Structure 1
Amino acid sequence: MIIKVRLIPTTGRNEVISRIGSVLRVKIKNKKVDDDAANAIMRTFLADFFNVHEESIIIVKGAKGKEKTVEVRDKSEEELRKIMDSIP
């Protein structure tokens, strides 16, 4: 499944704060959202959020920006849709 993610820097915890259509708004604990550290934090967080291995989170587009296109593998489209639909 392909998901668009908008990263928001925070000093708090990593969390999904909302979903606007198919775009997830995710806060990550990092000063920047457009570097390798931010990508690693996002991949780890999303892997935990979707209950998949970290290698199953692939950044398809936007590795150097705050808006990223991410592919989530190793889970069915139906399972991922249920998780996405549970986000307010």
Structure 2
Amino acid sequence: MTACYRTRPDGLDLFVRLTPKSSVEAIDGLQETADGATHLAVRVRPVPEKGAANAALEKLLAKRLGLPKRAVSVVAGSTSRLKTVRLTGDAAELAEAVDAAIRLAEQGKGR
């Protein structure tokens, strides 16, 4: 599988497959879609109404990656399960944090 993010001069674009209305909030690891694209699978509790699920996604990623909330924002796919989330900061450090979160998820510790 390939990476679920693309580096930018000011950070990363993280590709996420969001599952709203879950019983738990968690990062589940990597998933590959039918077209071969790789996404980070994330579950949140809120329903996808009035941006609640997107806000929960931003909050969860900020907390798990150790970022301020203002450094995480959904920039594409706001009404879709497949989203692009922009992480602002040092690209190398962000990539390391995302990779660490994926490793934890694969060990079953993504909650």
Determine if the TM-score, normalized by the shorter chain, exceeds 0.5.
Answer: yes
Deviations 1:14-45 (A, max 9, x none): 1011213641100110233x641111111000
Q: Which has the larger radius of gyration?
A: 2
Alignment of 1:26-65 (within 5 A): 26-32=42-48, 35-65=50-80
Calculate the TM-score normalised by the size of structure 2. 0.66
Q: What's the C-alpha RMSD, in Å, of the aligned pairs?
A: 2.1
Residue of 63, 80, 83 corresponding to 2:100? 83
Flag structure 1 segments of 5+ consecutive residues without an equivalent: none
Percentage of pairs with the same residue: 22
Calculate the TM-score normalised by the size of structure 1. 0.80
Higher deviation after alignment, 44-53 or 34-43: 34-43
Higher deviation after alignment, 6-15 or 46-55: 6-15
Cα distance in structure 2, aligned partners of 1:28 and 1:61:
18
